[in-house]
Chains A and B, each alone.
Chain A
Amino acid sequence: MKNKNILLLKTLLLSTSWRNVLKYSKDKKKKKQMIGGIVGMTIIFAMIMFYCVMMCVGYGQIGITDAIPAMCAVMISALAFLFTIFKTNGYLFNFKEYDMLMSLPFDAKTIAGDKFLYMYIKSLPWYVSISVSMMIGYGLYADASVLVYPVWIILTFVLPIIPMLLAAFIGFLIAKVSSGFKKTNLVQTILVFIFVIFCFSLRFIIEGIFKTNKVDVVLETVSDATGTIGSYYWPVKWFAGAINGLHISDILLLVGVSLLLFELIFIPVGKSYREINSKLKSHGAAKAYKMTVQKKKSLINTIAFKEFKRMMGSTTYMTNVLIGEILALLVGVISLFVGLDKVITTVLQGAPITKEMLYPAIPLIIYFFIGMVPTTACSPSLEGKNFWIVQSLPIKKEILYRGKMLFNMYLTVPFAVVSTLCLCISAKTPVVNAVLYLIEGVALCAFSTAWGCVCGVKHMRLDWENEVEVVKQGAAVAIYLFPNMFITMGLIVLVVVLGLRMNSNLVTLILILIAAVLALLSYLRVMALARKL
């Protein structure tokens, strides 16, 4: 008998492969969209690789080439951990073909393990692009042995396994705890948020420990810095040791621990797998509803409400789109209570930047979080098999997408306004500035909503097997997310610099104008695309 692990994994990959669609689908539009998606993703990967190479060039030029392997390990580990936390629920639990798979002679551990491996393989292109580009950057400056490169490439495939396993295990614990509650999705989402926020705060806690122990004095040399990171998270130390010193022991430890952890973690997961999925997938009907007064809503608000219910019904969707809003609010509230000066000092590590210099960047800082993933980038694809409902209804497609955009505005604007106000109060900005920042925040929300919708409609994919493919790995989200994030980061720096040379309110006015024009153009594009559907 063929190895069932490999058989299932191969089928899972085949069931979502682009190759299968391009080879067998007779739908030319679908193929065209897929090719567009591949081109878009290639551009994104090229951007990430360029960014990573340039970062290494920076390290090389200031003479800390030896720190690059550790940096690479830290980046990949952090990304793998966070991405997996958001994906575990959709990949390991609550997937739609659960009944089919569980009724076949696979044991629960095989299914859970293969679902994890599938998630790992699907994420690999991201980690490989980061690692290979950093290896190139390292190669430019390090006088490394030829052996380093094959070792680096092999370990690239091993590096994400440990953080992904840890995140999957935490996701399993969250699913286990939340499956005992009636409002499973909500509890799961809240627990994920609590954990993610804890992870973000961990960085500051560790830095706090460093500072009180005056460890920063020790961090004078690069090898000590690497050692310090590695002492907290051993795989970083092993990877750095494997690359910088070609230590066989480090290579074996990284590979061995990854494999051992994989075996260990899926024992408890396998044992509770059916119990958790049973609880997550089955809800007894209360049958206690009594007819009450029903209110009529406007069509556009009905669509927006439908979008709200869609979001609330999925932990994967909710955690991925709401995390930006939650983080923005946290930044605002923390600044309000702790003081913006303290936040700037902590985040910027004592860089000579005052709160006044940051004034024009306030709306962009908030937008960096709020505009991370708009619901409009995912919701067209998330219609999935229910697409026929909206297609068959006697409503214009333009109205449908206006409704989708309205929901994202309902969701983002209040968070943007409250977070911006908190920052303005904390920074003691003049009232005129605050009003301008609020307008800019709303304009940016409008842009994010409309541009997200352009990406969502243009790269709409309805035949997904798992909603993670849309929310986390969809071409629409990736094409929106990365350029938007990089450009926002660039704009934050730009407005701070411009604010030093010209009136900062003028800078804000220009940004409002640009955001409004881009929002309008994107909106018109959505309408044009909707008419073609």
Chain B
Amino acid sequence: MGMLEIKNYTKIYGEGKKAADDVTLTVESGDIYGFIGHNGAGKSTTIRAVVGVLDFTEGEIYIDGHSVKTEPMECKKVTAYIPDNPDIYENLTGIQYLNFISDVFDISGADRETRIKKYADMFEITEALGDQISSYSHGMKQKVAIISALIHEPKLLVLDEPFVGLDPKATYILKEIMKEMCAKGTAVFFSTHVLDVAEKLCNKVAIIKQGKIIASGTMEELTNGQSLEEVFLEVVDEK
């Protein structure tokens, strides 16, 4: 069984529009799974359903064998989510926010200190952790959100456009962290518009158009000697 299994997931909005239509995919432990598609294709809708934020109409989503619908707490305990535009408590200082997340996941004092220091040093924001988040730039807020997702060592990391707003060094570090986590058995599922990054980073990819998965598989199967960009444009224009 995969770490994340989406089976026939369908989301219909009140007006009858299908935002996601019979989406099925599996992310195994150790996978870096890219989820690509145009704006409004249904990527964020799917991701929000995966992390238990959005209700859905049909289908099932399992995380580590637990149903998102019926066992949401079990799913959330092993998942970390980084939204595209993190709305974190801006009046808190960075360290207050990270401590809040650590408390939620019951991380011991020594572990949180080590992990926060490790990731904050990597992203070069240690000195800013005592300042209010409201004084941070977009990129710094994104870094705090990323650290908060990493400190509890999730089994599944779900990211919605994680590279938006990050500086080149932070982008590189995040990619390295994703690879390192996968090597340890964590599953990563993320949406992106940056096809170059997806091509170099992911071992599996799915392309979504108007709520439907129009292509999916391992990177080799999908690209077959072409670039991901060429494949993407081809299948999106075709179907």
Q: Which residues of A contact B (CB under 8 A)?
A: 1-2, 4, 7, 11, 14-17, 20-21, 24-27, 96-100, 102-107, 180-182, 274-275, 278-279, 282-286, 463, 465
- Which of chain A's residues have a CB closer than 8 A to the CB of B54? 274, 278, 282
Q: What are 21 residue pairs bridging A and B, where the CB atoms are less than 8 Å apart in the complex? A: A7-B100, A11-B100, A15-B91, A20-B91, A24-B130, A25-B134, A96-B87, A97-B87, A100-B83, A100-B88, A103-B79, A105-B104, A105-B105, A107-B72, A182-B14, A278-B53, A282-B13, A283-B15, A285-B17, A285-B40, A465-B89
Is the pair A25, B135 in contact by a Cβ cutoff of 8 Å? Answer: yes
Is the pair B52, A274 in contact by a Cβ cutoff of 8 Å? Answer: yes
- Which of chain B's residues have a CB closer than 8 A to the CB of A275? 55
Beta-carbon contacts under 8 Å, B89-106 to A:
89-93, 96, 100-101, 103-106
Closest B residue to A281 using CB positions: B54
Measured between alpha carbons, how far is A17 from B91 in the docked complex, in Å? Answer: 8
Query: Does B118 have its Cβ within 8 Å of any Cβ on chain A?
Result: no
Is the pair B52, A103 in contact by a Cβ cutoff of 8 Å? Answer: yes
- Which of chain B's residues have a CB closer than 8 A to the CB of A283? 13-15
Is the pair A279, B132 in contact by a Cβ cutoff of 8 Å? Answer: no
Query: Does B45 have its Cβ within 8 Å of any Cβ on chain A?
Result: yes
Task: Answer whether A463 and B90 are a contact pair too, CB < 8 Å, given A7-B103, A105-B77.
Answer: yes
Measured between alpha carbons, how far is A22 from B37 in the docked complex, in Å? Answer: 45
Query: Does B51 have its Cβ within 8 Å of any Cβ on chain A?
Result: yes
Nearest CB on B from A91, distance (A): 15
- Which of chain B's residues have a CB closer than 8 A to the CB of A104? 76, 101, 104
Closest A residue to B76 using CB positions: A105
A contacts with B: majority SS:
loop
Measured between alpha carbons, how far is A21 from B96 in the docked complex, in Å? Answer: 13
Closest B residue to A108 using CB positions: B72
Is the pair B45, A97 in contact by a Cβ cutoff of 8 Å? Answer: no
- Which of chain A's residues have a CB closer than 8 A to the CB of B9? none
- Which of chain A's residues have a CB closer than 8 A to the CB of B89? 11, 14-15, 97, 465
Sample of 6 further A-B pairs with CB below 8 A, known A11-B89, A96-B87, A105-B77:
A97-B88, A99-B83, A99-B87, A102-B52, A107-B72, A180-B14
- Which of chain B's residues have a CB closer than 8 A to the CB of A278? 53-55
Query: Does B173 have its Cβ within 8 Å of any Cβ on chain A?
Result: no
- Which of chain B's residues have a CB closer than 8 A to the CB of A14? 89, 91-92, 96
Is the pair B53, A465 in contact by a Cβ cutoff of 8 Å? Answer: no
Query: Does B111 have its Cβ within 8 Å of any Cβ on chain A?
Result: no
Measured between alpha carbons, how far is A275 from B54 in the docked complex, in Å? Answer: 8
Nearest CB on A from B162, distance (A): 14
- Which of chain B's residues have a CB closer than 8 A to the CB of A26? 131, 135
Measured between alpha carbons, how far is A525 from B119 in the docked complex, in Å? Answer: 49
Task: Answer whether A7 and B104 are a contact pair too, CB < 8 Å, given A25-B132, A282-B13.
Answer: yes
Nearest CB on A from B37, distance (A): 15
Nearest CB on A from B201, distance (A): 22
Is the pair B88, A20 in contact by a Cβ cutoff of 8 Å? Answer: no
Task: Answer whether A284 and B13 are a contact pair too, CB < 8 Å, given A14-B91, A103-B76.
Answer: yes
Query: Does B194 have its Cβ within 8 Å of any Cβ on chain A?
Result: no
- Which of chain A's residues have a CB closer than 8 A to the CB of B81? 99, 103
Nearest CB on A from B223, distance (A): 30
Nearest CB on B from A425, distance (A): 43
Query: Does B48 have its Cβ within 8 Å of any Cβ on chain A?
Result: yes
Measured between alpha carbons, how far is A463 from B133 in the docked complex, in Å? Answer: 10
- Which of chain B's residues have a CB closer than 8 A to the CB of A4? 104
Nearest CB on B from A118, distance (A): 12
Nearest CB on B from A200, distance (A): 32
- Which of chain B's residues have a CB closer than 8 A to the CB of A106? 76, 104
Nearest CB on A from B173, distance (A): 22
Is the pair B92, A15 in contact by a Cβ cutoff of 8 Å? Answer: yes
Top-9 shortest CB links A-B: A284-B13, A15-B89, A284-B17, A278-B55, A105-B76, A103-B81, A103-B51, A1-B106, A102-B53
Nearest CB on B from A178, distance (A): 11
- Which of chain A's residues have a CB closer than 8 A to the CB of B45? 282
- Which of chain A's residues have a CB closer than 8 A to the CB of B100? 7, 11
Query: Does B86 have its Cβ within 8 Å of any Cβ on chain A?
Result: yes
Query: Does B19 have its Cβ within 8 Å of any Cβ on chain A?
Result: yes
Task: Answer whether A463 and B134 are a contact pair too, CB < 8 Å, given A106-B104, A278-B54.
Answer: yes
Is the pair A20, B92 in contact by a Cβ cutoff of 8 Å? Answer: yes
Is the pair A16, B91 in contact by a Cβ cutoff of 8 Å? Answer: yes
Scoring A21, A106, A284 by chain B CB atoms within 10 A of each residue's CB, the highest score goes to: A284
Measured between alpha carbons, how far is A272 from B7 in the docked complex, in Å? Answer: 23
Query: Does B215 have its Cβ within 8 Å of any Cβ on chain A?
Result: no
Q: Mark B162-193, 1 if CB is under 8 A from A, else 0.
A: 00000000000000000000000000000000
Measured between alpha carbons, how far is A279 from B57 in the docked complex, in Å? Answer: 11
- Which of chain B's residues have a CB closer than 8 A to the CB of A16? 91
Measured between alpha carbons, how far is A106 from B105 in the docked complex, in Å? Answer: 10
Closest B residue to A11 using CB positions: B100
Scoring B48, B54, B86, B130 by chain A CB atoms within 10 A of each residue's CB, the highest score goes to: B54
Measured between alpha carbons, how far is A112 from B20 in the docked complex, in Å? Answer: 28
